[in-house]
Amino acid sequence: MSLADTMQVTLRLPTRTLFNGSVQRLFARAENGAFGMLPNHTDFVTALVPSVLILTTEDGGEMFFGIDEGILMKKGYQVDIAIRRGVQGSDLDTLHETIQAAFIEVDEEERVARSALSRLEAGIVRRFGDLRKPTV
């Protein structure tokens, strides 16, 4: 395998692709600590923790992503990252605010969905209980 200057990174959410492109460097945080990756880095898989993912593009610019837990897999010059939640920020200063707004909104939606599911389950249990009652 020849040496390369870039690697292809795909950052995926459950419902869409957040980023897909060529980068020079990647900086992320795994369960056992932070790490940097260049295109010729050895292949590996690791679990990511909630943190900031930094990608250095081909033109030297940096892209910042606030990510939730996920998995990173590198094979050759392809890096696939699957995360539960993530947002892109223009810089580190505004990324914190963006993360707070997006993740708090999702947490509220999850709370409402869990509440609706609990009510639905309770209704099903009541109906099954009614089925067992003898009719006169």
Q: What is the mean pLDDT of residues 101-129?
A: 76
- Sketch the domain layout of the chain as residue ranges: 1-136
Q: Please report which confidence band the pLDDT of residue 113 belongs to, taking 50, 70 and 90 as the band edges.
A: confident
- Our CA dihedral for 9, 14, 84, 31, rounded to 10 degrees, sits at -50
Asked whether the whole model's pTM tops 0.85, one would answer: no
Average pLDDT score over residue span 110-114 = 75
So what's the architecture of 1-136 in CATH?
Sandwich (2.60)
Q: For residue 136, what are the β-bridge partners? A: none
Q: Does the CA dihedral 36-71-20-15 come out positive or negative?
A: negative
51 pLDDT band, cuts 50/70/90, is confident
Q: Stretch 35-58: mean pLDDT, rounded?
A: 93
Alpha-carbon span 42 to 128, nearest angstrom: 56
